[in-house]
Structure formats: structure tokens, C-alpha cells
Amino acid sequence: MKLALILNVIDPKIGGVMIMGDRGTGKSTTIRAIADLLPEIEVAADDLFNSHASNYDLMSDIIKQKIEQGINISTEFIKVPMIDLPLGATEDRLCGTIDIEKALNEGIKTFEPGLLAKANRGILYVDEVNLLDDHLVDILLDSSASGWNTVEREGISIRHPSRFVLVGSGNPEEGELRPQLLDRFGMHAEIRTVKDPSLRVQIVEQRSDFDKDPYSCIEKFEKRQCQLKSDIVLAQNRLSNVNIDYDLRVKISEICGLLNVDGLRGDIVTNRAAKAFAAYHNNDKVDVKDVKKVIKLCLRHRLRKDPLDTIDSGSKVTQVVDDILGSE
């Protein structure tokens, strides 16, 4: 789970993480904690959509118009947005709608941005994603596929960038996720309750220490957290120089073919995740070990479910990977 989140921070194009597991295993806590590891981003000042000041793909139409008119864009640095999508959210809250207060008081039609606007260039987190209403799932699918959100409301037509890392968590006992949405997640991690008694005691003690004195507990781990933050920033800068051999790319695609993975997302995500993992470990070239470390996270949720099959999808991926890449 932690590895999948870190790799998505290094390369957001991996496409997010789906984390399924038992209740009380720290899924939500871990996901919300990742926000503290993210470096600040530069955005256009007073912009509703966290627009980039020089990258056209990450700019709202308003900022583009200002640039075309020769207006100088002032910028500021902000923390990467971490937006929660509650299960009971309405479509208007997610997409944005007309600002009723301004319309009534001033007679002006203006757009009030929704959660997709606030999550641009950040993380959109959906807890209990398998319980999310179908109409909200459709909106998420559309915006995550195109990277844009289009709103047509009461005479207002707005289109703004909506590039976010989609992170979901849930308990498989509470229901399955729609295959279309599951396929949108770049990686899939399964969490099980720890069985080792000594490790369980360690977790309980750390939790008790935090409840007694949160500040000293944060201070205790601050040095390690700063080191992790620094490693992530270095990996982000190194990522564009990481290469993966043609032969290794062929083997990745061979594994996807043998597993009957639908489409090519599995190949693309595995290549990206392997590069991010190599960059994270200070390497400029992807090797077999890097691929083996990430491929199960990238493919386990993309396999077709056979109701008569008793083998776990993760085990099936491991078997094929060992056959193609070797079991060392």
C-alpha cells in the first residue's frame, strides 16, 4: 500500500491506487498521511482550478485567455490538494454549479467550482469507493479518462482541467467495484490484518503514544519523514532519465498477454511503475527486480474473474511472472 502510494506521488500518470482490505487496518490513515510527503506546487494566483502558469494542459480557459491577451500571471506555491469525496456528495458538489448567492444578490451568473476543480493537480480520495453511487462513478470515469471536467448548467458552460490521482479504499465484504472504475485505477493493493502478535503490540503501543502526546510522536519520526520527502523529490527529478530495455518491455507485454489482460492499460502502467520504482531506488535503468516488485500491484485487478477459479489473482500473476522473468 505504501509503495503504491509513493510510486503514484513520483509519477501521477500511473493512474492512482485502489486499496481493498479488512476493517481497521489503517487504510484511510495511510492515504491521508501521504499529503504531508508531497512537495508544494506552483499555481496561478487567485485561480479556482490550481492552474499551471506555463503548462497549457494544466491551465483553465480563463488563464489561457489572460496569457493570449498578454496579461502577466502572478503565481504562488500551495500544498498539493488532498480532497475527500464523501459518499453522499451530489453531482453539483462534485462537478460544480452556478453560484446562487451571487446570482440572487448581484444578478451575475458565475461558476462555483466543485470537488473536481479543487482536486486538479492533487489527490482525490474516495473512502468506501465500492459504495459510491453509479452516477458519481460515471462522472469520475469521464473526468479521469479525459483529464477535463465540462459543466453545462443554467446557461453556464465551463470546461476546466481535472487531472488528479484517484485513490480509493474499501472493504471487499461490502460489495464489488464496477469493472470500468476498477480498471481506471493504475494499481491495486490488498491489505490483510497483521497476524504476528509482537507486531500487533508494536502498532497498539505506537497508537497509544500518539494519543498521549501527538507532537512528540510526530517529532520522533520527523527526520525519517523528511528523508522520505527528499527521496521522493529526487526520484521525481530523475524519472525522465530512467530507461527500460526493449527486451524487458516485450516480457512485460508477454506476461499481460498470457494473463489475458483486457486492453493495454496493464502494459502501460507496469512500464510507468517500474520506471518510478527504479527512480525511487536511485537507478537510471529498470531491471527485472524492479518489474517483479511492481507488476502484481499493476495487474492483479485487471484479470478476468472466473467464478470456478479458486486461485487468488495475485498468485496467478506471480506464477506467470516467475515463468517469464525467472523465480530468483
The residues assigned a catalytic role are 265
Cβ neighbors of 17 (< 8 A, separation 6 or more) are 1, 4, 5, 8, 165, 167, 168, 185, 186, 187, 188, 189
Contact predicate 264/298, CB 8 Å: no
Query: Which 3-state string (H, E, C) describes the chain?
Result: CHHHHHHHHHCHHHCCEEEEECCCCCHHHHHHHHHHHCCCEEEECCCCCCCCCCCHHHCCHHHHHHHHCCCCCCEEEECCCEEECCCCCCHHHHHEEECHHHHHHHCCCCEEECHHHHCCCEEEEEECHHHCCHHHHHHHHHHHHHCEEEEEECCEEEEEECCEEEEEEECHHHCCCCHHHHHHCCEEEEECCCCCHHHHHHHHHHHHHHHHCHHHHHHHHHHHHHHHHHHHHHHHHHHHHCECCHHHHHHHHHHHHHCCCCCCHHHHHHHHHHHHHHHHCCCCECCHHHHHHHHHHHHCCCCCCCCCCCCCHHHHHHHHHHHHHCCC
CA distance 84 to 107: 32
CA distance 234 to 118: 27
Contact predicate 16/167, CB 8 Å: yes
